Amino acid sequence: MTRAFLALALVAGSVPVLAAPLTVRTGETWVFAIDHGEPVKARKVDAATKPTIGEVKVSVRALFGTMMTITNNSRQGYTFSAELVGADGKAVTARSCTLPPGNQPALESWPQKASAVRIGSFKPAKGGRC
């Protein structure tokens, strides 16, 4: 049984982890990098943490519905998809603005109350919208 476990652990360790959208619950702050359009190396941080070069910081709060603050500390701006996740786990697509480069915060606000916001599908932006 021990050999089977070790063999499984070796195989599992060689399987690449696929990047996926990041779900940020209300009250949380995360920092991550972007690879192939998806958040990677994501970790929960204190709200006062500053993103290092190449990182994005995102915070979600319950304020007049749902508010998200997102800061991109890179030279590249991005468009991205956002979904509001309700208490029942169902997600609905939400409008999002262009995430500017240069460590400038962007504020997103939606009138719906959400328990979390799921973000992903980051694409290089040409210009801005909102």
Evaluate if pTM is beyond 0.85. Answer: no
pLDDT in tens, 3-37: 544 444 444 444 445 678 999 999 999 999 999 99
Average pLDDT, the chain: 88
CA-based nearest residue to 23, from 91, 97, 75, 69:
91
The per-residue pLDDT for 75 is: 94
The per-residue pLDDT for 93 is: 94
Work out the average pLDDT over 48-52.
96
CA distance 42 to 26: 16
pLDDT in tens, 76-101: 999 999 999 998 999 999 999 999 99
Q: Do 117 and 85 meet the contact criterion of CB atoms below 8 Å apart?
A: yes
